[in-house]
Structure 1
Amino acid sequence: MLTFANAKINLGLFLTEKRADGYHNLQTVFYPIKIYDVIELIDADETSCIVKGIDVPGAATDNICLSAFKMLQADFNLPQQQILLLKNIPVGAGLGGGSADAAFLIKLINDKFNLGISIAEMENYARKLGADCAFFIQNKPVYAFGKGDEFEKTEIDLSSHFLVLVKPPVHVSTAQAYANVSVKEPLQSLKKLTGLPLSEWKDIILNDFEPSVFAAFPQIGEIKAKLYEAGARFALMSGSGSSVFAIFDQSVQLPELEKENLVFYNI
């Protein structure tokens, strides 16, 4: 059996507090997009993970998919499986690709072996693997808070717009992004701000990672500026970077940005 694990973008990201457990409390809106990894489960004599496509830092034996499988195997006595992962979602891009892979694998395991795990239970398993991992279980736009694993429903729908994502050839590690970030309590909640018309988002919906990441990687800030020059209604770095997405009213082509970056259209 196989499944297609999609990426996400962050429609704003406020870092509000440093937690005692080392995480940060935050406010964000997770929004699923149409860039996909492919995951397949195959019966095997021993459990392993094979990764193809985009290079992923670290050994396949440390892949989050293998961690997810072994976590469920311990509780449900699952037979040995080979996990085949075809990576298409850019790495180090703030798109949640690893978290998506783990969450979609949990759902795939549940379906393949008829485990009958509820959505809430699958979300709890996913929370053990990463702060944004649980979002991908239901995979619908949500306002997220706490450390990014508590959710409230949001009615945001961008399907009538044209979304573009630009990934420069730089990798921003999450640890690097958090090292220089400023933490502050916002004047208004991101949930309220994202409920305002899109025309008002530009100056009020921010990503608190942008100042420090743009200082370290000026080309990311330049991409955001060029997207606005091309007519974007709204543009923002996703997560801790390095990708930048933009919302347009109609289809566009960005050949200048394609010269040095990966550009994904109609995501």
Structure 2
Amino acid sequence: MLTFPSCKINLGLRITEKRSDGFHNLQSCFYPVSWGDVLEIIPADKFSFSSSGLLIPGDLQGNLCVRAYSLLKADVDLPPVQMHLHKLVPIGAGLGGGSADAAFVLRSLNEQFGLGLSVSQLEDYARQLGSDCAFFIQNRPLYCVEKGDVFSEIPLDLTGYHIVLVYPNLAISTAEAYAGVRPRQPEISLSEQLQMPIDSWRDTVHNDFEDSLFPRYPVLAQIKQQLYEAGAVYASMSGSGSTVYGIFNTPIVTPNQFSAYRVWKGEL
């Protein structure tokens, strides 16, 4: 089975409080974007995992795809498979690429071998792999709270808008990003702000990670400003960085300043 795990952007990201378990509660809207990896899973005599494309750090047992297979196999009778991931989405980019890969492993195994697991069950497995993973089970716009793994509906549709993702060849770890945040409760919930016209988001819809990461990595603020200068109706850093995106009414020619970066353009 061949699938194409897509990434996501965060439309706003408010860090509201630190939890007793060491994680943070947040408010965000996760929105899927078509930039993705390529995942193939086929039956085999013994389990194997291989990858191509971008280098995936860490050992085999720590790989999210391998962990997803092992997690499911501990509860259901799964045959061995040969799994290959062609990695295209940058790592440490705030796009949830690794989380998407893990979630798509769960989805693919469930479909390929007729396991009959519900969306809710798949989300419960995904939550054990990472805070972003559960979102990619449904892989549609959702309002996310708590660790980013509790969802509710949000009437938000950006169909027809165009997006440019700019990855400045800079990986930011989640630990580094969270080390600089100062949790606070917003006066107006992010869900209310996102109901306003997109033209108003520039002044209201904020990613709290920008407050500490932009001074540390000035290139991120520079890219955001350049996207606005290119005509973006809204621009922001995604997740805990370092990808910065711009949303446009029409397709654009990418500014020359981005020629040294990894850029993806598409339609939402």
Question: Which residues of 2 match residues 136-215 of structure 1 at below 5 A?
Answer: 136-215=136-215
Stretch of structure 1 that moved more, 193-202 or 256-265:
256-265
**Mapped contact 1:68–1:102 kept (Cα < 8 A):** yes
CA RMSD of aligned residues (A): 1.0
Indicate the residue corresponding to 1:122 in structure 2: 122
Question: Which residues of 2 match residues 75-86 of structure 1 at below 5 A?
Answer: 75-86=75-86
How far does residue 4 in structure 1 lie from its aligned partner after superposition? 0.9
Give the partner amino acid of 2:243.
Answer: S
Identity across the alignment (%) = 48
How far does residue 160 in structure 1 lie from its aligned partner after superposition? 1.7
Question: Which residues of 2 match residues 213-232 of structure 1 at below 5 A?
Answer: 213-232=213-232
Find the aligned partners of 1:128 and 1:61 in 2 and give their Cα distance: 15
Segments of 5+ residues of structure 2 without an aligned counterpart are: none
Question: Which residues of 2 match residues 63-74 of structure 1 at below 5 A?
Answer: 63-74=63-74
Find the aligned partners of 1:45 and 1:214 in 2 and give their Cα distance: 49
How far does residue 162 in structure 1 lie from its aligned partner after superposition? 1.1
Indicate the residue corresponding to 1:23 in structure 2: 23
Superposition TM-score, scaled by structure 2 size: 0.97
How far does residue 132 in structure 1 lie from its aligned partner after superposition? 1.3
How far does residue 234 in structure 1 lie from its aligned partner after superposition? 0.4
Q: Over residues 55-104 of structure 1, what are the superposed CA-to-partner deviations in whole Å (9 max), with x where a residue is unaligned?
A: 12212332100000001111112111121011111111000001100111
How far does residue 211 in structure 1 lie from its aligned partner after superposition? 1.5
Indicate the residue corresponding to 1:43 in structure 2: 43
SS for the counterpart of 1:9 is strand
Give the partner amino acid of 2:65.
Answer: C
How far does residue 257 in structure 1 lie from its aligned partner after superposition? 3.2
Indicate the residue corresponding to 2:261 in structure 1: 261
Question: Which residues of 2 match residues 98-113 of structure 1 at below 5 A?
Answer: 98-113=98-113
Find the aligned partners of 1:52 and 1:221 in 2 and give their Cα distance: 32
Give the partner amino acid of 1:36.
Answer: G
**Mapped contact 1:49–1:63 kept (Cα < 8 A):** no
**Mapped contact 2:230–2:255 kept (Cα < 8 A):** no
Stretch of structure 1 that moved more, 124-133 or 155-164:
155-164
Q: Over residues 95-125 of structure 1, what are the superposed CA-to-partner deviations in whole Å (9 max), with x where a residue is unaligned?
A: 0001100111101000111000011100111
Stretch of structure 1 that moved more, 89-98 or 76-85:
76-85
How far does residue 46 in structure 1 lie from its aligned partner after superposition? 2.5
